[in-house]
Amino acid sequence: MIPWLTIAIALPAIGAVLVWALPRTGAGGRAPAASAAAVASEGGGGTATAVRAPAATASGAASAENAKRITLGFSLATLAVLVAMSLRFDTSNAGSLQFVEEYPWIPRFGVHFAVGVDGIALTLILMSAVLVPLVVLAAWREHDDREDGGRGYFALILALEAMMIGVFAATDVFLFYVFFEAMLIPVYFMIGRYGRGDERARAAVKFLLYSLAGGLVMLVAVIGVFVHGGTFLWADLVGEDGALAALDPSTARWLFLGFFIAFAIKAPMWPVHTWLPQAAGASRPGTAVLLVGVLDKVGTYGMLRYCMELFPAAVSWFVWPVVVLSLVSIVYGAILAIGQTDMMRLVAYTSISHFGFITLGIFAMTAQAQTGAALYMVNHGFATGALFLVVGLLVARRGSSRIEDFGGVQNAAPKLAGVFLVTGLAGLALPGLAPFVSEFLVFVGVYAFSPAPALIAVIGVVLAALYILWMYQRTMTGPTADSVSGFKDLSAREAWAVGPLLALIIAFGLYPQPLLDAIEPAAERTVVATVDSAEEGGAE
Q: Euclidean distance between the first and final Cα of the chain, in Å?
A: 45
CA distances from 205 to 3, 276, 279 (A): 37, 12, 9
Helix (H, G, I), strand (E, B) or coil at 450: coil
Res 28: pLDDT: 36
CB 10 within 8 A of CB 106: no
Helix axes 414-427 and 367-398, enclosed angle (nearest 10): 150
| Residue-level pLDDT at 47 | 37
281: nearest Cα among 229, 348, 224: 348
Determine the pLDDT at residue 445.
92
Q: Are 22 and 16 in contact (CB under 8 A)?
A: no
Amino acid (one-letter) located at 20: W
Count Cβ atoms below 10 Å from residue 271 Cβ, excluding itself: 11
Run of H or E including 102: strand 98-106
Model pLDDT, residue 399 = 80
Task: State the amino acid at position 389 in one-letter form.
Answer: L
How wide is the angle at C-alpha 414 spanned by C-alphas 410 and 420, nearest 5°?
75
User: Residue 64 contacts by C-beta under 8 Å, 6 or more apart in sequence?
Assistant: 25, 56, 143, 144, 148, 149, 150, 151
* Cα 49 from chain centroid (whole Å): 30
Task: Report d(CA 192, CA 160) in Å as an integer.
Answer: 15
Residue 62 burial class via C-beta count within 10 angstroms: exposed 0-12, middle 13-18, buried 19 and up: middle
In this predicted model, what pLDDT tens digit does every residue of 317-332 receive, in sequence order?
899 999 999 999 999 9
- Rounded to the nearest 10 degrees, the angle between the axes of helix 173-182 and helix 151-169 is 160
Alpha-carbon distances, residue 407 vs 371, 387, 389, 403 (angstroms) = 40, 18, 19, 8
Bond preceding residue 271 cis, omega within 30 of 0: yes
Give start and end residues of each alpha helix (H) in 241-295. Answer: 249-266, 275-282, 285-290
Burial of residue 350 (CB within 10 Å: 0-12, 13-18, 19+) is: buried
Q: Do 299 and 385 contact (CB within 8 A), yes or no?
A: no
SS3 of 105, please? strand
Model's pTM, two decimal places?
0.88
Angle at 428 between CA 426 and CA 430, to 5 degrees: 60
- Secondary structure element (H or E) that encloses residue 406, with its range: none
Please tell me the distance from the alpha carbon of residue 389 to that of residue 420, in angstroms, as a whole number.
9
* DSSP category for residue 511: -
Distance CA 377, CA 530 (A): 21
For 349, residues 6+ apart whose C-beta sits below 8 A from its C-beta are 277, 333, 334, 336, 337, 340
Q: What phi and psi, each to the nearest 5 degrees, are found at residue 162?
A: -60, -40
Q: Taking Cα atoms as reference points, which of 291, 263, 279 lies closest to residue 206? A: 279
Q: In 80-237, where do the E strands start and end?
A: 98-106, 111-117
> Measured in whole angstroms, how far is the alpha carbon of residue 317 from the centre of its chain?
28
SS3 content of the chain, % helix, strand, coil (to 5): 75, 5, 25
Low-confidence ranges of the chain (pLDDT < 50): 26-56, 538-540
**What dihedral do alpha carbons 435, 441, 445, 448 form, nearest 10°?**
120
- Taking the domains of the chain in order of start, what are their residue ranges? 4-31+54-539
